[in-house]
Amino acid sequence: MSLSPEQVEQFKQDGYLVIEDHLSTQDCDVLRERAFQIIKEADMSQHPMTTFSTVDKDKGAQTRTDYFVTSGDKIRFFFEEGALGENGKLTMPPIEAVNKIGHALHIFEPEFKKVTFSDKIKGIARSLGVVKPSVPQSMVIFKQPKIGGRVNPHQDSSFLHTTPMNLVGFWIALEDAEPDNACMWFAPGTHKSGISGRLLRTEEDGKLGTKFEGTSPSTDENKFVCAPVRKGSLVLIHGEVVHKSPPNLSERSRNIYTFHLYDGTSEWSKDNWQQPTEEVPFPFLYEKTE
Ligand code: FE2
């Protein structure tokens, strides 16, 4: 139920750690099936067709920005850029077009809640010395066959910043993730020199937005190590380690479930795009006394 001292040491040294067989194949399938069912049940008729990585310039941009910035306490859908036609409409069924679902699966979806608040996860948080583990967000990332987009080198603490920084990503492979279907790549040790930039929430004339200040990490390409993992593996990702994944050009998907955790004894930045709401404050895995 906890990490060995060697595993903790490895995590501290590399900035990530692979833990095999965290979930059973069956557990993974339950999460995948539920994720697909959520998409099937969703009413997409009013969806602003928000993709995940575009810089919006047209008149629908503000609607799409709002859709993203206010998604922290909801279950919302973000599409692959490659799934939209020139008219901005989907060229394929939503189930094949979704890049990710976020960001409150761990609040509203029992199967995801169970996996997030499990004794195993609590044990890992304790092993890492987290006093008051708080879970701000969760996502299913689909990395669809053929159109699953590239994720450029980044540090998660650029997007979910705390003082002091102590964010940890929990990333669970719901399918095998290998080089051909775009497994993750890490630059070991890069978590030791701070972050290179930050995504900040903005509000001008009552309009919400985001802006990136600083730069993306300029990590040497040959510092990255491929991290293939089997279905059910959990990967711990230090908030400051530089990581990336290539586009998925293969015929098979690479579905994963991920959530982030930080120590609630630290300060959640008011500048983060995501803010806890009165209705949905960030839940804790445990309080110190437990
Ligand atoms: Fe990331």
For residue range 224-255, what is the model confidence (pLDDT) as tens digits? 999 999 999 999 999 999 999 999 999 999 99
Q: Are strands 197-204 and 162-163 parallel, antiparallel or unpaired?
A: unpaired
Instruction: Give Cα separations from 275 to 101, 122, 222, 262, 268 (angstroms).
Output: 18, 23, 36, 14, 8
Q: 137 Cβ partners below 8 Å, 6+ apart?
A: 72, 102, 103, 104, 106, 160, 259, 260, 274
For residue 155, report the distance from its CA to the centre of ligand 1, in Å.
Answer: 6
3-state SS track over 137-176: EEEEECCCCCCECCEEEECHHHCCCEECCCCEEEEEECCC
Residue whose C-alpha is closest to residue 282's, from 117, 154, 142: 117
φ and ψ at 253, to 5 degrees? -80, 175
User: CB of 88 within 8 A of CB of 81?
Assistant: no
- Distance from Cα 205 to the centre of ligand 1, integer Å: 31
- The correct answer on CATH 2.60.120.620 for the domain covering 5-268 is yes
The whole-model pTM stands at 0.95
pLDDT in tens, 122-149: 999 999 999 999 999 999 999 999 999 9
CA 243 / ligand 1 centre spacing (Å): 6
**Closest CA relative to residue 88, chosen from 46, 49, 129, 135:** 49
CA of 172 to the centre of ligand 1 (A): 13
169 CA distance to ligand 1 middle (Å)? 8
54: confidence class by pLDDT, cuts 50, 70, 90? very low
Distance from the CA of 281 to the center of ligand 1, in angstroms?
22
